[in-house]
Amino acid sequence: MSFQSEPGIIRWKVHFKSSPERVFAALATDEGRARFWAESAPEVDGVITFHILNYEPFSGRILVRNEPTVFSLEYFGTVVEFSLSGDGKGGYRPFTLGYEC
């Protein structure tokens, strides 16, 4: 028996107190990624170059940008999709991060 309900795909659910718009900005803007994700991660023409401490820079294409609900990109050989939505419990917002492995 596998720990994954979908072979080759891992899904995480995380709750943030921030709105989907703020979480989306942390994922989809150079400034947001630099605060949340990497030392820097500038986007040029739909390609993000991630600069992460002790790693060679990695570039990945943005696959889907549907503000403020879906952001998907190539990331170190995988496809990562952030799907943001409200949970109906007073403003806490979960997102599901699924990636193919």
- pLDDT grade, residue 92 (50/70/90)? very low
The number of residues in the chain equals 101
Sheet hosting strand 93-100, strand order edge to edge: 9-16, 93-100, 78-84, 70-75, 58-66, 47-50, 43-44
**CB 31: neighbour CB atoms within 10 A?**
12
Collect all residues with Cβ–Cβ distance below 8 Å to 90 and sequence separation of at least 6.
none
Q: What are the structural domains of the chain? A: 9-100 (3.30.530.20)
pLDDT in tens, 12-58: 777 777 777 888 899 999 999 999 889 999 999 999 999 999 999 99
